């Protein structure tokens, strides 16, 4: 039997990992620029956490979670999203009581979905959550942060879609109006939509089925069920984005797939990834902390999908940080190995990514390895160089003459600052 990764689970190989690292570096830098601090969350939580937060009628809980019972007969699940875990941690450790918190996290999530491009059963997110700020300024802040990430990555052509679900009271009132309307047109809906009419009617609004979309076009609008306070909150968010020059479109059918959202919801979408067009989504969820056993704490956040953003970086052929070694040190002779290792440590301490040859081989074979490694320079240490306390410096990418240099001269040539090097050869 040939062993391979499970369906929907995949390896991230070095070339793609470089794009991932660029995304995570840009996201972390943006979050910290806005005053957000990192929190690490467990991969496994009590299943009840997601039933109470995400909603038992959602597809995530009803169909997609990886759930199991351990030897202690505890029902647990691999986390399908990060917000519920972040709220649970905030309540458990007293971070949310009469406090403001700005937090970010990253890592794998798990859903038993049909794998396709940009969507896997193990997928990865970067997310931010802000607690204790009910005013529209915080909605604007997290959206502005996401826009800053796109700028840092050089991504263009993303569209910000915006909507409001109003207060819980507004949402409840609208849900009943929508359910009554959909019941009148039940025969015209697709099978999934008919099932959702009673359990989660708002999800019918974002159906992609053409027959259902035709029905939804005439459905009541959330805007008609908004209270004056909810309407003012949304208008303030829109005005704030306009003031920052962040373009947006109003999508009245945008509801998000999780039950905990209230007021502002948003998605960043692209037309470059086919059906999987959403690369970042979030919104406000003021009632979730109380729902999970905490106090009345306002909250807003977003999560962005690393796999989909990596695909966009690849398609746009945007540059990523080079993780290839800069220097490959070739050596021969048992007496040369200790010196080669000391020189390698000195080069690394000076900030140069350095590979010291391992596995033996002639100098010709080592030069081939050096070339395949992607290094720009090869350093050569043999018995003659060891005796004269020198190295041969050879360019692997340019037609330049090979030179005999001392270690200090080689460091200077390679652009390193010898003064910061604490390791002596």
- Residues 361-371 have pLDDT tens digits of 999 999 999 99
Write out the H or E segment, with its range, that includes residue 235: helix 228-243
Is the pLDDT at 421 greater than 60? The verdict is no
Q: What digits encode the pLDDT tens for the residues 24-54?
A: 999 999 999 999 999 999 999 999 999 988 8
Contacts within 8 Å (CB) and 24+ apart, 190-197? none
Q: What is the pLDDT of residue 258?
A: 65
pTM of the predicted protein model: 0.86
Those residues with Cβ within 8 angstroms of residue 176's Cβ, 6 or more apart along the chain or in another chain:
none
- SS3 (DSSP) at 391: strand
Domains, in order of start, for the chain: 14-167+227-316 (3.30.930.10), 327-420 (3.40.50.800)
Nearest one of 96, 67, 94, 95 to 80, comparing CA atoms: 67
Cα separation of 409 and 274, whole Å?
Answer: 54
Residue 257 pLDDT grade (very low, low, confident, very high; cuts 50, 70, 90) = low
CA 356 and chain centroid, separation? 34
Q: How far apart are CA 182 and CA 163, in angstroms?
A: 21
pLDDT at residue 187 greater than cutoff 50: yes
Which residues have a Cβ under 8 Å from the Cβ of 337 and sit 6 or more positions away? 331
420 pLDDT exceeds 80? no
**Residues 188, 211: Cα–Cα separation, whole Å:** 7
Q: What are phi and psi of 135, to 5 degrees?
A: -80, 160
Could you tell me the pLDDT band of residue 424, with boundaries at 50, 70 and 90?
A: very low
């Amino acid at each position: 039997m040939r062993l391979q990764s499970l369906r929907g689970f995949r390896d991230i190989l070095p070339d793609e990992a470089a794009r991932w690292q660029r995304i995570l570096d840009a996201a972390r830098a943006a979050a910290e620029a806005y005053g957000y601090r990192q929190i690490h969350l467990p991969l496994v939580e009590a299943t009840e956490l997601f039933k109470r937060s995400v909603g038992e009628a959602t597809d995530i809980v009803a169909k997609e979670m990886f759930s199991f019972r351990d030897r202690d007969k505890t029902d647990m699940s691999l986390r399908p999203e990060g917000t519920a875990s972040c709220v649970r941690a905030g309540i458990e450790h007293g971070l949310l009581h009469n406090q403001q918190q700005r937090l970010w996290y990253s890592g794998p999530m798990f859903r038993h979905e049909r794998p396709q491009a940009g969507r896997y059963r193990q997928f990865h997110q970067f997310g931010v959550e802000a607690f204790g700020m009910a005013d529209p300024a915080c909605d604007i802040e997290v959206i502005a942060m996401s826009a800053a990430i796109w700028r840092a990555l050089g991504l263009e052509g993303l569209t910000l879609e915006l909507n409001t679900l109003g207060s819980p009271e507004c949402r409840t009132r609208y849900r009943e109006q929508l359910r009554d309307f959909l019941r009148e047109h039940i025969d015209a809906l697709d099978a999934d939509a008919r099932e959702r009419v009673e359990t989660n009617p708002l999800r019918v609004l974002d159906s992609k089925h053409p027959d259902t979309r035709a029905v939804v076009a005439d459905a009541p609008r959330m805007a008609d069920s908004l209270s004056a306070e909810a309407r003012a909150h949304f208008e303030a968010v829109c005005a704030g984005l306009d003031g920052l020059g962040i373009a947006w479109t109003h999508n009245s059918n945008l509801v998000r797939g999780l039950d905990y959202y209230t007021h502002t919801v948003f998605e960043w979408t692209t037309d470059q990834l086919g059906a999987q067009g959403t690369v970042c989504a979030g919104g406000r969820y003021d009632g979730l902390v109380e729902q999970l056993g905490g106090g009345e704490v306002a909250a807003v956040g977003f999560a962005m999908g690393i796999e989909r953003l990596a695909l966009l970086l690849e398609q746009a052929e945007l540059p990523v940080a080079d993780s290839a070694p800069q220097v490959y040190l070739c050596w021969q002779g048992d007496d040369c190995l200790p010196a080669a290792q000391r020189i390698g440590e000195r080069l690394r301490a000076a900030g140069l990514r350095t590979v010291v040859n391992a596995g033996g081989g002639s100098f010709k074979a080592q030069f081939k390895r050096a070339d395949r490694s992607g290094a720009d320079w090869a350093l050569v240490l043999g018995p003659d160089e060891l005796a004269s306390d020198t190295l041969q410096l050879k360019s692997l990418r340019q037609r330049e003459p090979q030179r005999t240099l001392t270690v200090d001269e080689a460091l200077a040539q390679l652009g390193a600052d010898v003064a910061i090097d604490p390791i002596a050869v």
